[in-house]
Amino acid sequence: MSTVTCSVTQNTPDTPPVTIGSVYHGTDAPYYVYDYDKIYGQGTTMKYIDEKSFVVIAQQGNVIYQETGVNGAIQQTGPPKSYKVPLLGSNAKCHDAITFGYKESYMVIGCIASDNVLKTQTLFLQVLDRTDFTKVSDVQSFPLTTDFTDFRVTTKLALRAFTIFDAQQNPVDYLMVYDQRRQH
Name the site residues for other proteins (rule: CB under 8 A).
100-103, 106, 108, 123, 125, 127, 136-137, 140, 142, 146-152, 158, 160-162, 164, 166-167, 172-183
Nearer to other proteins, 58 or 87 (CB): 87
Closest CA to 44 of 67, 66, 63: 63
Distances (CA, A) of 110 to 44, 114, 177: 15, 14, 8
Shortest Cβ distance from residue 60 to other proteins (Å)?
22
Under 8 Å between Cβ of 180 and 156:
yes
Distances (CA, A) of 60 to 36, 43, 46, 112: 15, 11, 15, 11
Nearer to other proteins, 10 or 154 (CB): 154
Shortest Cβ distance from residue 108 to other proteins (Å)?
8
Nearer to other proteins, 63 or 128 (CB): 128
Nearer to other proteins, 34 or 65 (CB): 65
User: d(Cα 57, Cα 60) in Å, to the nearest integer?
Assistant: 9
Nearer to other proteins, 34 or 124 (CB): 124
Residue type for position 2? S
Shortest Cβ distance from residue 50 to other proteins (Å)?
17
Shortest Cβ distance from residue 129 to other proteins (Å)?
10
Under 8 Å between Cβ of 94 and 104:
no
From the number of C-beta atoms within 10 Å of its C-beta (0-12, 13-18, 19+), residue 70 rates as middle
Under 8 Å between Cβ of 124 and 141:
yes
Shortest Cβ distance from residue 162 to other proteins (Å)?
6
